[in-house]
């Protein structure tokens, strides 16, 4: 367990780099077949990897300073300078395309700016994950306090049951992801001694999750949408993928990992531009062929990187001047 924790801490950005590439791959319509198509079909699992890693990172952040006000200030300082300007541009472009009256436009603007509109059924949200991310950030201090006194399995079961309360509701997509976030926090807790066999247990869980996905895709397709079997297996798959990538990266030359580290550090901004591409490509006909999707995906990745570095530069300059 110590080795897994060390690798997750050391290579969290690199793992996030893999996760964002997987999400970009998932969103693109490339007309693939065979193994590549299978890998692409479950690329939404990159989001579950993000949530697991987010839980892991937030536990350590709260361990250093658990004051809720200072914690929220730290998270706001990281996310809002990138998110709010992007959101304003999104609203200026997308509200006229959506149409509707003034009341609808106000709902869309408020829902996106607060990041929580998905849970209120607000139309034209940037993406459901934005609201899921905001929810996990708000719940993290409570989860951290609970984990200081308890092992966390009761909390994990409670979150799973909470998700079931939303079966048949669009919000199920976000609420039922809370267990994988909680697992990330649980994995970050200090261990007094090395737990043998944890790697084998995680590998077995990953295989079980993949087997469940295969059975549902092949025989019980209705379970994928109706009962969230698209993503429930990633409670088992995402931790193992993250741990496995951490182990692999620990053996790789540092220079080879530099591009993934950069992508991971800018993954939030890249995600924002990529989901905008998905909306424009699928609903507004921006991308009509596989080559369009390749070009658009590269453009979204480049824009996300540029946005991340521009915002970081502005924030550094602001801190110096302040």
Burial 24-59 (b: 16+ CB within 10 A, else e): bbbbbeeeeeeeeeeebebbbbbbbbbbbbbbbbbb
pLDDT one-digit tens code per residue, 101-121: 899 999 999 999 999 999 999
Instruction: Map tokens 């579950």 to a residue.
Output: 48
* Structural contact between residues 111 and 117, judged by C-beta atoms closer than 8 angstroms: yes
pLDDT one-digit tens code per residue, 179-210: 999 999 999 998 766 666 888 999 999 999 99
pTM for this prediction: 0.95
Our measurement of the distance from residue 14's CA atom to the centroid of its chain's CA atoms, rounded to an integer in Å, reads 14
pLDDT one-digit tens code per residue, 116-153: 999 999 999 999 999 999 999 999 999 999 999 888 99
* SS3 per residue for 252-271: CCHHHHHHHHHHHHCHHHHH
pLDDT one-digit tens code per residue, 297-317: 999 999 999 999 999 999 998
Two tokens, residue 290: 């596989």
Count of residues in the chain: 322
């Amino acid at each position: 367990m110590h080795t897994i924790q060390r690798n997750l801490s050391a290579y969290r950005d690199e793992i996030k780099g893999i996760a964002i590439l997987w999400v970009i791959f998932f969103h693109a319509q490339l007309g693939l077949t065979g193994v590549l198509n299978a890998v692409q079909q479950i690329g939404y699992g990159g989001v579950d990897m993000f949530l697991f890693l987010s839980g892991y990172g937030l536990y350590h952040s709260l361990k250093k300073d658990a004051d809720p006000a200072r914690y929220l200030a730290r998270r706001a300082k990281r996310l809002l300078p990138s998110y709010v300007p992007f959101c304003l541009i999104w609203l200026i472009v997308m509200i006229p395309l959506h149409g509707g009256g003034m009341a609808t436009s106000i709902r869309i603007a408020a829902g996106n700016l607060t990041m929580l509109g998905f849970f209120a059924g607000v139309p034209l949200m940037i993406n459901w994950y934005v609201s899921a991310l905001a929810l996990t950030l708000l719940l993290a201090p409570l989860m951290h306090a609970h984990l200081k006194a308890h092992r966390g399995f009761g909390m994990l079961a409670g979150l799973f049951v909470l998700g079931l309360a939303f079966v048949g509701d669009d919000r199920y997509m976000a609420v039922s992801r809370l267990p994988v976030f909680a697992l990330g926090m649980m994995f970050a807790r200090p261990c007094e001694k090395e737990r043998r066999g944890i790697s084998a247990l995680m590998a077995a869980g990953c295989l079980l999750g993949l087997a469940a996905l295969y059975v549902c895709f092949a025989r019980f397709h209705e379970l994928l949408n109706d009962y969230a079997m698209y993503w429930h297996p990633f409670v088992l798959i995402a931790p193992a993928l993250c741990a496995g990538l951490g182990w692999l990266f620990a053996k790789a030359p540092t220079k080879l990992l530099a591009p993934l580290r950069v992508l991971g550090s800018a993954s939030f901004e890249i995600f924002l531009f990529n989901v905008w591409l998905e909306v424009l490509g699928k609903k507004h006909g921006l991308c009509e062929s596989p080559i369009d999707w390749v070009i658009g995906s590269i453009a979204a990745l480049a824009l996300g990187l540029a946005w991340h570095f521009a915002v970081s530069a502005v924030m550094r300059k602001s801190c110096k001047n302040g």
